[in-house]
Structure 1
Amino acid sequence: MTEVIAAKFNITTKNIVTYSLVLVETILAFAAGFGFIALGIGGGAWILGGIAAGALAFYIYRAKFSDRIEPNRNLRKLGQMIVGLTVGFSIQPHNLEAITAQLPVFVFLALFLLASGGLIAYIYSRLQKTDLLTATLATVPGNIGIMASLAADYGKSTALVSLVQLIRFTTLISTIPLIANVSHPYDIHTAIATLTQDLFKLNLTYLLLLVLVLNLTALVVSAAGKLKIPVAAFLGSIVVGVALNFSFTALPLTAQMDFSFSPLFKVIGQILLGITIGEYWGLNPKFSRATIAYALVPVTLTFFAGLLSAGIAMLLTPWDWLTCLLVTAPGGSPEMIWIALVLHHDVEIVTAGHLVRLIAINFSLPALVSLACYLEERLSNGNGVNNPAPVLESIPAANPPSKQR
């Protein structure tokens, strides 16, 4: 009996700590987000604010209180659901017909980035003196958690995979909004006025409808997860958003219904996306300078591959430079789509491009893993086995369930 009471007390205490930390991170993210807006970083200000807040709060908590706490991956899923719903409601069905004609271009761009990732992986494996599978998982522009989990399944360095993926992701999230704001004029005062307008103006009907939409989305996302659909929280919520948006405009009973998400709801979704990435940085990994320097090489090459892909897209399509850049940015799909949404810039095209790439990457992962293992075996037989450089395992992406918040 005493053990049961103690276990319940520990769970309650853990939940209080989790929610308190999330609250502190959210408050800090709002402050940082307004700071980034004041600096003119409009497109990704709230995501960057979340990254800064998550890193700071998580690092201080681990340093002062407990180093056993792990990044809250459920926060990112919730953020993906919110952003996915917002994106889904912004997509107009009549615009989807024109996008289907560009499907071959989307597939080509996705395959181009995959091929570029393979070449970069080979270069990085020789530079870091690690095996080809680890290098492939580190450099392919995919989900951080998925890549690191695969590394753990195959007994590879999850820390190295997480490091490269995290640097790539953070670099993109930091630089693309800056480039987007240069490519597309951004009025700071208008951004703040838009955010504060009707920020807390809610009514009972709206709240009931919002609860209904969120519960329906949660059911669809749960079903998608059980079906092993990649990035289920994001893809599932987009499908729900598109379907509900179509039904609200097409069905007679709901044609007069005006439903849209409040600015506060949208901002919270962006902040949650950023907080999780910031928490991984807050783990304070102690890598050698050489390891970090080597990790910057594939990140830089991947970034240039994205720019080259954007140039190819401009030659093949009538899209402008900003659209091509957002479509081909190697990673951060929810964030790139959100930037397009904030700037009201070809949301359907950017969404379609990233969804095609997400599907291509996730469905080609088994083939990529098999190919990397095969090539590594051939290289090892021909030249001797590579001895991977020692890397501190300090970013546990594939954590045991007991340690998850």
Structure 2
Amino acid sequence: MNQSVGVASIQEEPTNKSPVVAKSQLIVKQLIILCLEMLLALPLGWTLTKFHIGGISWIFGGIAAGTAILQGCRIFYNYAPKPNRIARKVGMGLVGLTVGASNANSDLASLASRIPIFIFLTLFLLLCGSGIGYIYSRLSKTNILTAMLATVPGGVGVMSSIAADYDRNVTLVALVQAIRVTSVVLLIPFIARTSVNDYWNLPTLPLRGALIDFDPAQLTLLAIALLLTGIIIFLAIILNIPAGDFFGALILGATFNFWLNSLPFVNDVHFHAPLLVNIIGQILLGITIGEYWGEKPNFGTKTVGYALMSVVMTLVAGAIAAILAMQLTSWDWLTCLLVTAPGGSAEMILVSLALNHNVEIVTAGHLVRLIAINSSLPLWLFLFRRLDRRWGVENRQ
């Protein structure tokens, strides 16, 4: 068969192939698309750093690349791939590793007395999300479970997966969640400018040669850390643990040096995650958000309008939670905003890391939120389904 190997090879051909062959071809297509997205995201992210967008420029580059490549596949090759959830899990794991390593010397235990405040803020956001979901359901004539999954701040991938498990409108849930996460990721850096005077002058990429440390010892430690991170991601996928990739990798990064130095044959080892790992993690996070934008939902103007309305209400709820946090703590308003922002936990921690602004507080707050949301998911799903049956499905999607 004289067929060139290239982008055109990702176009689907209707053939009667065995499940193993079909699965293998699907994996190859996903890898090709991911490589194209990475190749596009790198120059885009680099360009954004030149405009001093801030320390999470690579996420924005990934969002643009994911959107462009998926749109290109659909328009030019009549192929509509689904968002790559495994790529997001890998990105979460890499970001978790770098954030954990950067917090290795932080005294997170000193924040234990603040756990009740973190839990209170999480419950406040969950209750607000439920109320917003109910309003959204009534106005948009969407069933209550779909509306709740779309508006509760639980992450694009997790909530979309749950919607698929319960045969709800995955695309609608992904749309609302993606709008919310993208809005927060875009707004927070601009808001931060009013608090951090030199924000736009913060270095987003160190000098050449600092992307990775080629010292043999550091390369060996990096290989071990990446291997353990891969195992954590694999277990999170197999066991279907929500946010287990990010949480597990973060714990690994924070305790990696401690466990190494506790070995009898190791002395005074200090591992630091290279910037390249952080950049790749950011790009993967951005790509998966962009892929949800790259899908072609058949939504009308009214549906998108209701989605935007629910996102605005969620952002207002996050701002109110930040005001409550300021009243309950001595933290400055930017720290409170980063702790309560209804965006992705990894993305918000990355913003605080880029600003070098109370990273341990923001990390602790979002870890408590992740644990609280994921541990209470069965209860919330039970309540949402009961409400769904009680009020009936007005417009099942």
Is TM more than 0.5 here? yes
- Is 1:158 equivalent to 2:170 in the alignment? yes
- Is 1:21 equivalent to 2:33 in the alignment? yes
Give the 5 Å matches for 1:18-57. 18-57=30-69
User: Which one of 382, 387, 395 corresponds to residue 388 of structure 1?
Assistant: 395
User: Which one of 130, 153, 157 corresponds to residue 145 of structure 1?
Assistant: 157
Give the 5 Å matches for 1:286-301. 286-301=298-313
Aligned position for 1:346: 358
- Is 1:86 equivalent to 2:77 in the alignment? no
Inter-CA distance 331–215: structure 2 relative to 1 (3 Å threshold): same
> Aligned partners of 1:174, 1:190: CA distance in 2, in Å?
17
Aligned position for 1:77: 89
- The range that moved more, 193-202 or 165-174, is 193-202
Q: How much does 1:15 deviate?
A: 4.8
C-alpha distance after superposition, 1:182-208 (max 9, x if no partner): 322345565155263522552433222
Instruction: Tell me, yes or no, if the aligned pair for 1:54 and 1:279 is still in contact at 8 Å.
Output: yes
User: Which one of 337, 342, 349 corresponds to residue 325 of structure 1?
Assistant: 337
> Aligned partners of 2:165, 2:289: CA distance in 1, in Å?
22
TM-score normalised per structure 2? 0.88
SS in 2 for 1:261: coil
> Aligned partners of 2:305, 2:159: CA distance in 1, in Å?
21
Inter-CA distance 63–159: structure 2 relative to 1 (3 Å threshold): same
> Aligned partners of 2:216, 2:17: CA distance in 1, in Å?
39
- The range that moved more, 272-281 or 157-166, is 157-166
> Aligned partners of 1:206, 1:221: CA distance in 2, in Å?
22
Instruction: Tell me, yes or no, if the aligned pair for 1:44 and 1:174 is still in contact at 8 Å.
Output: no
Inter-CA distance 42–186: structure 2 relative to 1 (3 Å threshold): farther
Q: How much does 1:215 deviate?
A: 1.1
Instruction: Tell me, yes or no, if the aligned pair for 1:195 and 1:263 is still in contact at 8 Å.
Output: no
> Aligned partners of 1:78, 1:148: CA distance in 2, in Å?
17
- Is 1:97 equivalent to 2:84 in the alignment? no
Q: How much does 1:230 deviate?
A: 2.2
Instruction: Tell me, yes or no, if the aligned pair for 2:101 and 2:253 is still in contact at 8 Å.
Output: yes
> Aligned partners of 2:381, 2:199: CA distance in 1, in Å?
46
Inter-CA distance 27–125: structure 2 relative to 1 (3 Å threshold): same
Inter-CA distance 185–386: structure 2 relative to 1 (3 Å threshold): same
Inter-CA distance 217–67: structure 2 relative to 1 (3 Å threshold): same
Aligned position for 1:239: 251
- Identical columns (%): 45
- Is 1:364 equivalent to 2:376 in the alignment? yes
Instruction: Tell me, yes or no, if the aligned pair for 2:175 and 2:293 is still in contact at 8 Å.
Output: no
- The range that moved more, 337-346 or 295-304, is 337-346
Aligned position for 2:9: none
In the comparison of the two structures, how many residue pairs are matched?
Answer: 383
- Is 1:310 equivalent to 2:317 in the alignment? no
Inter-CA distance 143–254: structure 2 relative to 1 (3 Å threshold): same
TM-score normalised per structure 1? 0.86
- Is 1:123 equivalent to 2:135 in the alignment? yes
Could you tell me which amino acid in structure 2 is paired with residue 231 of structure 1? A
Instruction: Tell me, yes or no, if the aligned pair for 2:132 and 2:151 is still in contact at 8 Å.
Output: yes
Instruction: Tell me, yes or no, if the aligned pair for 2:91 and 2:284 is still in contact at 8 Å.
Output: yes
> Aligned partners of 1:98, 1:367: CA distance in 2, in Å?
30
> Aligned partners of 1:363, 1:237: CA distance in 2, in Å?
18
In structure 1, the gaps of 5 or more residues are 392-405
Aligned position for 2:5: none
Give the 5 Å matches for 1:215-294. 215-248=227-260, 254-294=266-306
Could you tell me which amino acid in structure 2 is paired with residue 63 of structure 1? I
> Aligned partners of 1:219, 1:130: CA distance in 2, in Å?
39
Aligned position for 2:367: 355
- Is 1:65 equivalent to 2:72 in the alignment? no
In structure 2, the gaps of 5 or more residues are 1-14
Could you tell me which amino acid in structure 1 is paired with residue 30 of structure 2? T
Q: How much does 1:154 deviate?
A: 2.6
- Kindly report the root-mean-square deviation, in angstroms, between the aligned alpha carbons of the 2 structures: 2.6
C-alpha distance after superposition, 1:306-343 (max 9, x if no partner): 01101110111111111111110113100101111121
C-alpha distance after superposition, 1:128-159 (max 9, x if no partner): 01222111111100022222232233332222
